[in-house]
Amino acid sequence: MALLEVSGLTKMFGGLTAVSELNFDIRPGELLSIIGPNGAGKTTLFNLLTGFYKPTSGTIAFDGTNITGLKPYQVTRHGMGRTFQLTSIFKQSTVLENVMIGKSLHAAAGLWGSVFRTPATRREEQKTREKAKEILSFVGLGDKENRIAGSLTEEAQKRLSISMALAT
């Protein structure tokens, strides 16, 4: 079964067709690249997949769920994240805090737990911290978790951005 299934995906802007009848599947564990010259529709494709644009026609299914036309936050809740060409991180926070922010999108602690720091909230925060450290290690930033994110090299900031997407 495919993790991502794109069928007949089309996006038109007025009379301009940016993506036309695109079909592809990505299976778990596969790594694929999207290449092409400027203006070929690569960014439009990613904007369609992640809900920034609604397709003119076609469908997008992620992990067996139709996500066609969902808003970006809804797509993220289904488990699909993205990074942007320009790095978007919280520069004054630590590397670890940045990843924990991404992971906290799935936090179950409500207002009550957050305000009163209940035992369940503390356990959830510890699990979030452990998962964030695991992700940082995976992308090669495990030794930089306590550094201020804005002090990282541009390449390390890109890795951090990827870490935040993985955490969501």
Residue 99 near residue 136, CB atoms below 8 Å: yes
Domain 4-77 adopts which CATH fold?
Rossmann fold (3.40.50)
**Residues in the chain, how many?**
168
Give the predicted TM-score (pTM) of the model.
0.66
* One-letter amino acid of 96: L
Token pair 């992971």 is found at 103
Q: What are phi and psi of 25, to 5 degrees?
A: -125, 145
Spell out the domain ranges in the chain.
Answer: 4-77, 95-167
71-129 pLDDT, tens digit per residue, is: 998 998 888 877 776 677 899 999 999 999 876 655 555 555 555 667 887 888 899 99
17-74 pLDDT, tens digit per residue, is: 999 999 999 999 888 889 999 999 999 999 999 999 999 999 999 999 999 999 998 9
Confidence of residue 147 (pLDDT cuts 50, 70, 90): very high
Q: What's the pLDDT score for residue 107?
A: 56
What is the 3-state composition of the chain as percent helix, strand, coil, each rounded to the nearest 5? 45, 20, 40
Dihedral of the alpha carbons of 133, 138, 139, 140, in degrees to the nearest 10: 80
Q: Which residues of 54-73 are buried (b: 16+ CB within 10 A; e: fewer)?
A: ebeebebbbeeeebbebeee
